[in-house]
Structure 1
Amino acid sequence: MPVPPAPPVSARIRKATSEAVGGLPRQFWWLWTSTLINRLGGFVVTFLALYLTTDRGYSASYAGLVASLFGLGSAIAAVGAGVLTDRVGRRPTLVAAQLGTALFTAVLGFTDGQVAIAVVAFLVGLCNNASRPAVSAIIADIVPAGDRVRAYALNYWAINIGFGLSAAVAGLIASHGYLTLFVLDALSTLVCAVVIFVRIPETRPDAPAARADEPTPGLGTVFRDTRFMAVVALNLLLALVAQQGSTTLAVDMGRAGITSTQYGLVIGLNGLLIVLLQIPLTRWMEGRNRTALLVASALFIGWGFGLTALAGSSAWFYAFTVAVWTIGEILNAPTMMGLVAELSPTHARGRYQGVYSLSWSLASFLGPAAGGVLLERAGGAAMWGACAVCGTVAAAGYVLLGRRPGTATAGTPVRAGQEPAGTEPAAAGS
C-alpha cells in the first residue's frame, strides 16, 4: 500500500503556528501587543546596576541597595495592586501603574545624588510592579483554563522578544550616554498605557451574591492557603537566584572587563533564546509531569548561575551560562503561572496573583543586596556557588510538594479543554 506523501513544509508550519497561537481571544492579543511595546523600551531595569557602577562611579554595594529599594517598592505594589485589581478593576489599576512608571522612569534619568536616586528608584519599582497582578488576572479572566499555560507562555514570549531586542540595542545606546535609555523607556511605557486604555476593556468577573456562611476572600485567606503559600515560598527561593541576572551578574561582568556593549549582547541572549524556544518547548511540555518540569527548571536555573564562577573574563562563557539558566526560565515561567491561576479562586485572582508576585518582589528586594554584599566580601565563587545550592534546594522542595497529599495540581498539568477541579470557569464574554 503506497505511503501518502508528507504535507508540504509550508502546510506544517501553518498548522504548527495555528496550534501555538490560534484560538485565543482578541483582548489577549491587545494585551500581548501592549506588553511587547513596553518591553521593547524596557532599558532601565536591565542596565541600572551597570549605569550606577560604571557611569556614575558608585560601589557595587550601593548598586545593590538601589536595586533592593526598587524591589521593596515592587513588594509593596504586589500586594496593594492585587487588592486594587479585585476591588477597583484590572484596567484602571494597569493604566495607573503604567502612567506612574513612565513618569518616574523619566525623572530617574535626570536625578542626581545617592539619596534622590534611591528614592526615585523605589517609586519606579512601586509603579512598575503594580501592573503584574492586573495582567495575570486579565489573562486568567479571558482565557479558558485549557489554554492558560499557552497564553502565559505567549505573554512571556512577548516580554522576551522586547527584552532581547532592547538589551542588545540598549548596550549600543548606553555607550553614547545613558539618559536616552531613561527617556525611551518612559515613552514606550506611555504608549503601552494608551494601548491598554483604548483597546482592553475591564474583565473583572461580576461578584456573586454574598452568602452568610461564605465571607469575601481577603488577603488573610490567601496567606492561610498553605498549599498556595508553599508554591510561593519555593518560587521565592528560585527568584532570589534569577534576580542576580540583572544585578550581580552585571557587576561581576563589569569587574571582569566586559564592556557595556558585550554585556548587552550577552544578557540579550536570554531574550533571544526565549523568543526562539518558548513556543516549541511549551508545546513539548504539554501533557508532561508538572513536578518534573519544575524540578528541571530549578536545576537549570541554579546550576546555570553556578557555572558563572568558571567564566573568568570570557564573554562567550558568560553567554553559555545565560543559555543554561534561560532553559530553566522557559520551563518554569508558564508552568508556574498556569499552576497559580488554577490555585486562585475566580473572585480573588488579583489577591492571589499579587501574593505570587510578592515572591518576585521580595527577591528583587533581598536578592541584589545579598548578591552585591556576597560578591564584594566573599568573591564570585561563593556568590555563584550559593545560587547552585538554592536551585538544588528548590528542586527538592518541588519534589516534596508534588508528593504532598491533596496537592494534585502540582503533579500533572491540566489537559487542553479541561477546567481544573475546585475552580470556576472564566466569566463568559469577559
Structure 2
Amino acid sequence: MRTVRGWLRDTTGGLPRAFWYLWTGTLINRLGSFVLVFLAIYLTQARHFSAAQAGLVIGLWGVGGAVGTTVGGTLADRWGRRPTLLTAHLGAATMMLGLGLARPLWTVALGALLLGMFAEAARPAFGAMMIDVVPEKDRLRAFSLNYWAINLGFACAAVLAGFAAQAGYLLLFVVDAATTVITALIIFTRVKETRSPAAAPSVKDAAPAGALRTILTDRVFLGFVALNLLAALVFLQHISMLPIAMGDSGLSPATYGSVIALNGVLIVIGQLFVPRLIRGRSRSHVLALAALVTGVGFGLTAFAGTAWLYGLTVLIWTVGEMLNSPSNATLIAELSPAALRGRYQGVFSLSWQLAGASAPVLGGLVREHAGNTQLWLGCAALGAVTAIAHLVSGPARERRAAQLRPAATPVRPVTVLATPAPEAAEAAATAPAEPVRVAP
C-alpha cells in the first residue's frame, strides 16, 4: 500500500490546480469525441458517399485544421490563451451540430472544413497554457497525465459511439458538441489567463513577419516538425484506411470500435508508468524506437484479416504511440521560445493537420493503385526512415534546447566586485537560489 501511495504521489502530486482543470476539460471533451472516430463509416454508410468522397471530406477537415492551428497559435500569443480557447471550443460545438445536420456533399465538406478550423485552433492555445502553468521539472508527468486522460476518454468514446450510432448518427454529433461546450465552461469559470506579461512578444516578434522569420529560420525546429509529419502520416491511417480495411474483411463498425478502443485501454493502463520508464534516457533514442514500433504495428496490418489480428496490430503501434507522446511534448516545449510559444505550438500542430489532410488521400491512392498490402508495408518503411532521422537529428535538437533554457531565465544583476549595502546583502541572503520561471 505504501508503494502504491508513493507511486500516486510521484505521478500526480505537486501539480498546480490550473493543470487539473485543464486535465478535467480534456477528459470530458474526449469522452464525447465520437465524430472523428466514426466519420469515415458515417460518410460511407449513412450518407452513402464513395470512399473517394469520404477521403475528400476527411482531408478538408485536415485543411481546416491547418488554418486553425496557424491562426490559433498567433491568437494565443497576441490575444491570449483563454479567449482563444473559448472562441475555438464554442465555434467547434456550433460547427459540430452543423456537420451533423448537413446532407449534400458540398455542405458536409464545408462543415468539415470549418469544424477542423475551430477544433484545431484550440490545440496551440491549450498546449501553450499547459506549458505556462506547469514548471519544467513536472512537464513530463503533466503531459503524460494529460495524454492518459485523452486516451481514457478516447477508449470510452470508441466503444460508446459504436452503440450510439445504432440509435442514430446524429446523436454522435450532439454529444460531441455538448462535451465541447462543457469544456469551454470549465475553462471560462476556473482557469485564468496564463500568458505572462513578461513573456509578451517584443515589437519585432509581435509582428507576423518577424515571428514568421524566426520560425522559418529555426531549422532544428522545422526538422522536428517534418519528422512529426512523417510519423503522423503513418499514425492517422487508423482513422482513414484502417476502418475501410476492416470493412473489406467483413467486420462491422461495432467491431472496429471495439478494436480501436484497445488503443485507449492500453494507454490508460500503461501510460502512467511510461515517464518512469523513459526518464533519464535519450529522447532521440526513445523517439526513434517509437517510430520503429509504430511502423511495425501498422505494417503487420497487411497480414490481418480477423478481429483479434487487427487488435494485435493496434496494441503494437499503441506501444510506439505511448513512447512518442511524452517525449514529443516535452521536447516541443523546450524548443519553443517563451515569447513565441503559441506560434511554435501552432506550427507544430500544423504538422498534424497537414497529415490529417494528406494521410487519407495518400492512403486511398496507394491502396487503390498498389493494393492494401503495399499500403501497410509502406507505413512500416516510413516508420523505419523516421527512426533513422531521429537518431541523426537528435543531438542538434538537444543543443538547441540547451541554448534556450538560459534565455528563458531572468538574469539577476550581480555585483561581485562592489561591497554591497546592508539592505542589498540582506536581500541577497534571502533570495531563492534559482528564480521561479515558467519558460523552459
Normalising by structure 2, we get a TM-score of 0.90
Q: Which amino acid aligns with 1:199?
A: R
The answer on whether the counterparts of 2:40 and 2:58 sit within 8 Å (CA) in structure 1 is yes
Counterpart for residue 120 of structure 1: 111
Question: Among residues 31, 37, 47, which one is paired with 1:40 in the alignment?
Answer: 31
- The 1:424–1:380 alpha-carbon spacing in structure 2 relative to 1, beyond 3 Å, is farther
Tell me which protein shows more helix as a share of its residues.
Answer: 2
CA distance in 2, matches of 1:50, 1:68: 15
Per-residue deviation, 1:423? 3.4
Report matched runs for 1:276-315 at 5 Å. 276-312=269-305, 314-315=306-307
CA distance in 2, matches of 1:301, 1:401: 19
Per-residue deviation, 1:215? 7.8
Residue 423 (1) aligns with residue 414 (2): no
Per-residue deviation, 1:402? 1.9
Further displaced range: 205-214 or 238-247? 205-214
Counterpart for residue 88 of structure 2: 97
Q: Which runs of 5+ in 2 are unaligned?
A: 411-435
CA distance in 1, matches of 2:28, 2:370: 40
CA distance in 2, matches of 1:215, 1:56: 45
Counterpart for residue 4 of structure 1: none
Question: Among residues 81, 86, 90, which one is paired with 2:77 in the alignment?
Answer: 86
| CA shift digits 1:293-347 (9 cap, x unpaired) | 00110011111111100002x0101000000111111110110110010011111
Matched residue SS, 2:377: helix
The answer on whether the counterparts of 2:296 and 2:380 sit within 8 Å (CA) in structure 1 is yes
CA-based RMSD of the aligned residues comes to 2.0
Counterpart for residue 425 of structure 2: none
Counterpart for residue 385 of structure 1: 377
The answer on whether the counterparts of 1:339 and 1:409 sit within 8 Å (CA) in structure 2 is no
Report matched runs for 1:257-276 at 5 Å. 257-276=250-269
User: What is the aligned-residue identity percentage?
Assistant: 46
Q: Which amino acid aligns with 2:189?
A: V
Counterpart for residue 214 of structure 2: 221
| CA shift digits 1:233-275 (9 cap, x unpaired) | 1000001111111111111111211111111110111111111
The answer on whether the counterparts of 2:300 and 2:313 sit within 8 Å (CA) in structure 1 is yes
Per-residue deviation, 1:209? 8.6
Number of corresponding residues: 411
Matched residue SS, 1:257: coil
Counterpart for residue 321 of structure 1: 313
Counterpart for residue 57 of structure 2: 66
Residue 374 (1) aligns with residue 356 (2): no
Further displaced range: 245-254 or 225-234? 245-254
- The 1:374–1:168 alpha-carbon spacing in structure 2 relative to 1, beyond 3 Å, is same
Per-residue deviation, 1:61? 1.3
- The 1:213–1:89 alpha-carbon spacing in structure 2 relative to 1, beyond 3 Å, is closer
The answer on whether the counterparts of 2:228 and 2:351 sit within 8 Å (CA) in structure 1 is yes
Per-residue deviation, 1:376? 2.5
- The 1:213–1:219 alpha-carbon spacing in structure 2 relative to 1, beyond 3 Å, is closer
CA distance in 1, matches of 2:392, 2:73: 28
Per-residue deviation, 1:140? 0.8
CA distance in 2, matches of 1:287, 1:358: 29
CA distance in 2, matches of 1:305, 1:121: 26
Counterpart for residue 249 of structure 1: 242
- The 1:428–1:362 alpha-carbon spacing in structure 2 relative to 1, beyond 3 Å, is closer
Matched residue SS, 1:23: coil
Per-residue deviation, 1:214? 8.0
CA distance in 2, matches of 1:289, 1:166: 34
The answer on whether the counterparts of 1:174 and 1:260 sit within 8 Å (CA) in structure 2 is no
Counterpart for residue 426 of structure 2: none
| CA shift digits 1:179-214 (9 cap, x unpaired) | 111111111111111111111100001146987998
Counterpart for residue 331 of structure 1: 323
CA distance in 2, matches of 1:174, 1:424: 52
Per-residue deviation, 1:427? 5.0
| CA shift digits 1:150-200 (9 cap, x unpaired) | 111111111111000010111111133211111111111111111111111
Counterpart for residue 393 of structure 2: 401
CA distance in 1, matches of 2:239, 2:267: 16
CA distance in 2, matches of 1:380, 1:329: 23
Structure whose CA Rg is larger: 2
Residue 23 (1) aligns with residue 14 (2): yes
- The 1:208–1:344 alpha-carbon spacing in structure 2 relative to 1, beyond 3 Å, is closer
Q: Which runs of 5+ in 1 are unaligned?
A: 1-9
CA distance in 1, matches of 2:398, 2:266: 32
